[in-house]
Amino acid sequence: GCVLACGNYLNGGTNRGQADGFDLEQLAKLHLVKDNEGRDLRYFISAQLSPGGQFESCGPQLFEDLAALLQLVKRRVARTSEGTDVASKQLRASMEDLDQAVRNLRKEFDETDELLRGCLQEDLDPTDPMRFELPQEFQRAKVAFENTKMLLESAKAEYKQVQTHFVADKMPSEQFFLLWDEALLPGDILA
């Protein structure tokens, strides 16, 4: 709402001044709008989301959520052969990557569990610690895995709600996360 309110105010008196929404890609252009002192629109929006601002009630939660998102992005500044600095960004893990990693872990766990069960059916020394310790370890691992899977499912559901809110249902999570990162930390400012 804060970005939309700013856009409507800045476009007041035009046919774009009464917008009900905006294209999400416009977030990456917030740094292009500056005040008389050279501060860009992100500075103003941050002030409005901070204590004393118009949107202070949602600011702390938004900042906390965005901090978690920004930690997912790996940023690197490199110098080109022409001597200019160029920033590159890469997502450490997308929602799709995490989903695939959990499926792979499940497959590996099931295969290893089957091997363990086969081994335990063999005539082993009854005093062999493997007979007692490994099944308990596997049970703990299974509980930890199921908890991780539940966390991922919860995160996916929340992410889906955010995507729906921003009408970005078809946008891959990598693109969505990098778009927010670029809005807050534009590559040309990093370089």
| Res. 9: pLDDT tops 90 | no
> What are the tens digits of pLDDT across the range 34-91?
888 888 888 888 888 888 888 788 888 888 888 888 888 999 988 889 988 888 899 9
In the prediction, which pLDDT does 53 show?
82
Mean pLDDT of 80-103: 90
pTM attached to this predicted model: 0.69
Cβ distance 110 to 104 under 8 Å? no
| Res. 167: pLDDT tops 70 | yes
> What are the tens digits of pLDDT across the range 104-163?
999 999 999 898 888 878 776 777 777 778 888 989 999 999 999 999 999 999 989 988
